[in-house]
Structure 1
Amino acid sequence: MYKSRKAASLLLAGVMTVTLLAGCGSNGDKEKGNTTGAGAGAAANVNKEGFPIVNEKLTLTLMAPDIGIQNWNDMPVMDEMEKLTGIKFEYLNAPRDSFDTKKNLVFASGDYPNVLFGAKLTQAEELNYGGQGILIPLEDLIDEYAPNVKKLLEAYPDIRKSITAPDGHIYSLPRFDLNQPWYRNPLWYNGDFLKALDIKKIPETTEELYTYLKRVKEEDPNGNGQKDEIPLASSSKMRDLRTWILGAFGAYEEEIYVDDKDVVHYTPMEEPYKAYLEYMNRLWSEELLDHESFSQTDDQKKAKAKNNQVGLFSEWHAYFTLGGEPDTEDVLFSPVKSDMVAAPAIAKNRGYSTGAFAITSSNKAPEASMRWVDYLYSYDGAMLFDKGPEGTLWKYTDKASMTKEWLPVPGGGDREEYRSTLTPNYGIAAPMVISDDLTKGLKTEFDEWVAKENKEKLLDRGARVPFPALFLTAEESAEVTKLRSDLSTYVMQMEAKFITGQDSISGWDKYVGTIKKMGGERMAAIYQTAYDRWKTS
């Protein structure tokens, strides 16, 4: 029977309008390549241990993306950091959706903020602006002023390799996410449909998945007497489905991945991708895949799901799409396998994202800036940035064991919505470390269930990282950018044509020939060279 669901409560507020200041450097320093700040004077003002960080109060500028919910000047977390450290920031925010454009304009202007926070700097940007001296090297500062970062990089040497540029320098700090296995949002089964169809065991193969989708279409699991069910839906031109379905045929990623023998593959020209296209065309031709998947917005897909029409979909948690409260009846997808492979290829999250924090040449106090951000990589600092100050949304029940409990949300309402007003670690990749310690005592039964599902369906089944984040040389990066601009457009166009039947898969050999002419093999060769360099570094 149809189970009513309340609308999801988590809504983002409108994006605030923020003006970037013309002069980002608070001290007016326009020198390029300054990697030591004000020298001995700046360093002498810094305490290497304890708080405050500086003996004399310091004001710096910080540029970051903003999601438009709370003015950073009014965020309790940033107030706490100022009181604790003695460092005040002037915020040069830009809306998240247009941040990359603003970031590029600032780099081109010659007026740089002292630090970049949550900026998602690409490795090409780091190599470019680091080479110009706009971003300063961080490795010496890490050794001397960032014990928490240093400890993490020693514990995860592959991450240190991935954030080290070919010139040997580290130009940005990553965000560590040590407890999130998902490579992309997982897929979820509509629990109402599973119950209505009396399905006790979810699909394990592509054929069993096909059978489930067929039953959704034909057996009226929403019970309204109409054939309005949509077995499988996408809202991002297959991106939210592609990795999970590709895995059934042995490919870990949609573009570049490395196999167990350290061989790099350019996926769109290989047999697993062809099999994926054939399977998705089969679903399309039998109307098991939503025919609006290449055009609809995420909100449009969610509207169908909230109307109890969609059987399988991508989302962080199912109830974010279906509405209502967390529900263990909506079952996490277990990667399926085809006859081509003995087991599905399951892509695992890298455990970090690059480009989260950088210091520019305008910064007169890089030592203090490094100590400030290093606190976010400690347990206490991460706890502050992730959950807000103690006593607002949470409190310790046993600090020695890091055990905590939730407090009532001030004024009532949704906890996550309220948290978004406390901290900048909401909707952006803030530089910090996320670990299980942060949620000790705070996990709900639903959280524990999701963790168990992740372990059994992903981690215990050999999930691994498809390809490490790594630097290309400037020459490699330029060549890849040129190749990808044409290849990506062609591959996406042909994917849509093959899936929708506009072009027959019988034209596969011609398609592969075109990709080879456009440089598909060269893409694989460039990444193979980069991977081999990373592997031995």
Structure 2
Amino acid sequence: MQQLINMRAAALAATMLMTVLAGCSSPDKQGADNPEHKDPVSGSHVNKEGFPIVNEPLSLTMMGPDVGIQNWQDMVVFQEMEKLTGIKLQFRNAPLDSFDTKKNLVFASGDLPDIFYAAQITSAEEVNYGGQGLLVPLEELIDQYAPNIKKVLDKHPDIRKSITTPDGHIYSLPRIDLSAVWYRGPMWYNGKFLKALNMDKLPETTEELYTYLKRVKEEDPNGNGKQDEIPLVSVKLDDIRMFMLGFWGIYGEVIYADKDGKVHYTPMEEGYKGYLTFLNRLWNEGLLDKETFSQTDDQKKAKGKNNQVALFSDYHPYFTLGGEPGTDDPMMLPVKSDMVDAPVYGKHPGLSTGAFAITSSNPSPEATMRWIDYLYTYEGATLFGQGPEGILWKYKDKEKQIKEWLPVPGGGDREDYRATLTPDYGIVTPGVADAKVSQGLRGEFDDWLDKETLEKLVPYAKVPYPKVYQTQEEQQETSRLRSDLDTYVKQMEAKFVTGQEPLSNWDKYSDQLKKMGADRVVEIYQAAYDRWDSK
């Protein structure tokens, strides 16, 4: 959990603001000379239905993370939205890798944009800055000006619970994808290795997995006459931890709640010890990449493209192995250890919070709410997901909402071009994922991914922990405790796996976690869960 800015840091940030904010724009300094706001536009001057939203021009400032491909002011989706709504946006963007720092400085200074878009507003920021009045409560605006958002929240009360802070207010809107299953990229097998070793059935237990990885090391499945195969590759275990913990019945990296609502702290669980023991075994026998704790993701991918890797994690298998999207490299079936009757898989909760917020500087929260409500419609999801009709796609049957692809203008990669049209690329944007948006645009690879997910992950999928809020006092305490705990756990994970720390010292490690406040962390998360569950 992100630590709150203390008063000293806030004061320092304010003094630095004039210097730092100069770097908050994209390279063309978009938004550096934003015009002054027009007079506030009251709700009586906002059209509650239809378009435009306002009859008189309205200018608003928006801040969001820039992935460095296209300036937002030049993106066609925002130009289309201005034509549709009558609302002109001025952008105060910051590069993605430094966005959180710039966001914190903006909050500290009080020089707020009117809108935060895809800004990863944390639960702590909602509670803190909402309580200070810097973020506008949205629930009444939703009731009056956002029928599409209201419809989703009324239909799914758990979503409303998960975006309502302890003071009873909603300060941000989420990205909603009720069909989501992946929490992060799954694990994949190199299909060429499976074929070379005549593996007609995937491993179903940790012992069968171990046997397969050992064969990879010893039987030269890439056929080059060298023992250069890497059975299991990872980057600091961050890419495989979540998936592999499920083999021991754990479905949250730090915190998870079981079927009875009891909260568990993963690094103290016996299943976590089982996970460490297995990885230590792989490490000792040369089955886990010896560069796991030192290599970058690019270095991992280079090994994959060199046909050295048997088992790995990535969003899609060809991202690591190279080549074109295909169906030859199967998704890993979660395997079970001798500690459980069946494995589990940590499922995505279906929403990503903090994707959109309105600040106290906004001259017309009513018009802004109507603007964002459009993104929770089929039309809005289509516009921001794929750009306007006629550029990358067109309707094949508009009545049935079936589309077809058009050639990429000028050739090149479709995703790269799409990223010049919309901010919905590489960041979590507000809105709702609608399966109908992709009708007619899905290929064989997309259908195969869905089939693999349905067969291999869905039967074992469980949401680790709902999106809940802690009070400001709880957040401060857990941030302080977890700052040290998370660092210690990560260090000890590497030591246990590599054998620098023998697993015979598990009790000593567990006692140290308790001394550092692990039990208190569980108490706080349990209290927050119980409040959420009782709403």
> Structure 1-normalised TM-score?
0.93
Partner of 1:234, secondary structure, is coil
CA–CA distance in structure 1, aligned partners of residues 207 and 289 of structure 2: 18
Change (3 A) 1:225 1:210: same
Partner Cα distance (2:34, 2:337) in 1: 55
Give 5+ residue unaligned stretches, structure 1: 1-14, 30-37
Q: Distance in 2 between matches of 1:28 and 1:507?
A: 65
Task: Tell me if 1:328 matches 2:332.
Answer: no
Q: Output aligned runs, 1:60-71, within 5 Å.
A: 60-71=60-71
| Matched residue type, 1:86 | G
Match of 2:496 in 1: 498
Pairwise CA distance, 1:26: 4.3
Post-superposition offset of 1:401: 1.7
Q: For 2:489, what is the secondary structure of its paired residue?
A: helix
Structure 1 pair 379–222 and aligned structure 2 pair: CA distance change class (3 A) = same
Give the RMSD, CA atoms, in angstroms. 1.5
Q: CA deviation at 1:395?
A: 1.0
How many angstroms does 1:22 deviate by?
7.3
- Matching residue of 1:35: none
Is the CA contact (8 Å cut-off) linking 2:396 and 2:402 kept in structure 1?
A: yes
> Shift of residue 462 of structure 1?
3.5
Residues 79-90 of structure 1 correspond to what in structure 2 (within 5 A)? 79-90=79-90
SS in 1 for 2:239: helix
User: Deviations along 1:349-371, whole A, 9 cap, x unmatched?
Assistant: 11110000000000011000000
Matches within 5 A, 1:15-30: 17=27, 26-27=36-37
In structure 2, the partner of 1:126 is 126
| Residues 466-492 of structure 1: per-residue CA shift (max 9 Å, x gap) | 101110001110110011011111111
SS of the residue 2:68 aligns to = coil
Compute the displacement of 1:23 (Å). 8.4
- Tell me, what secondary structure is at the counterpart of 1:303? helix
Contact in 2 for aligned 1:28/1:362 (Cα 8 Å): no
Q: Tell me the amino acid that sits aligned with residue 70 of structure 1.
A: Q
**Unpaired stretches in structure 2, ≥5 consecutive residues:** 1-24
Q: Kindly indicate whether the alpha-carbon contact (under 8 Å) linking 2:149 and 2:376 is maintained by their aligned counterparts in 1.
A: yes
Q: State the match for 1:177 in structure 2.
A: 177
**Secondary structure in structure 2 of the residue aligned to 1:240:** coil
2:162 and 2:466 in contact (8 A); partners too: yes
Cα deviation 1:443-483 (Å, max 9, x = unaligned):
10110010011111111x14121101110001110110011
The residue identity in structure 2 corresponding to 1:71 is N
Partner of 2:528: 530
Aligned to 2:18: none
Aligned residues: 511
1:347-386 aligned at under 5 Å gives the runs: 347-386=346-385
Percent of residue pairs identical = 65
Q: 8 Å contact 1:148–1:378 — kept in the other structure?
A: yes
2:9 corresponds in structure 1 to none
Give the ranges of 4+ consecutive aligned residues of structure 1 lying more than 4 Å apart after TM superposition: 18-26
Structure 1 residues 89 and 290, CA, compared in 2 at 3 Å: closer, same or farther? same
1:473 aligns with 2:471: yes
Alignment of 1:136-285 (within 5 A): 136-235=136-235, 237-285=236-284
1:239 aligns to what SS in structure 2? coil
Map residues 296-307 of structure 1 onto 2, 5 A cutoff: 296-307=295-306
Matched residue of 1:456: which SS?
helix
- Whether contact under 8 Å (2:343, 2:460) holds in the other structure is no
| Residue 16 of structure 1: how far off its partner (Å) | 5.3
Q: 1:23 to 1:410 in 2, by over 3 A?
A: closer
Give, as a single letter, the amino acid of the residue that structure 2 aligns with 1:62.
Answer: M
Indicate conservation of the 8 Å contact 1:65/1:95, yes or no. yes
**What is the Cα deviation at residue 215 of structure 1?**
1.1
Q: Is the 8 A contact 2:344 2:461 kept in 1?
A: yes
The whole-number CA distance in structure 2 between the counterparts of 1:405 and 1:75 is 22
Distance change in 2, residues 1:87/1:101 (3 Å): same
| TM superposition shift of 1:42 | 1.9
In structure 1, the partner of 2:441 is: 442
- Alpha-carbon distance in 1 for matches of 2:447, 2:126: 38
Which residue of structure 2 lines up, in the alignment, with residue 117 of structure 1? Answer: 117
Q: Deviations over 1:396-439 (max 9, x none)?
A: 11122211111111111111111011101011111111121111
Look up the equivalent residue of 2:68 and give its one-letter code: G
1:516 maps to 514
User: Could you say what secondary structure the match of 2:62 adopts?
Assistant: strand
What is the CA-CA distance between 1:45 and the residue it aligns to? 2.1
SS in 1 for 2:240: helix
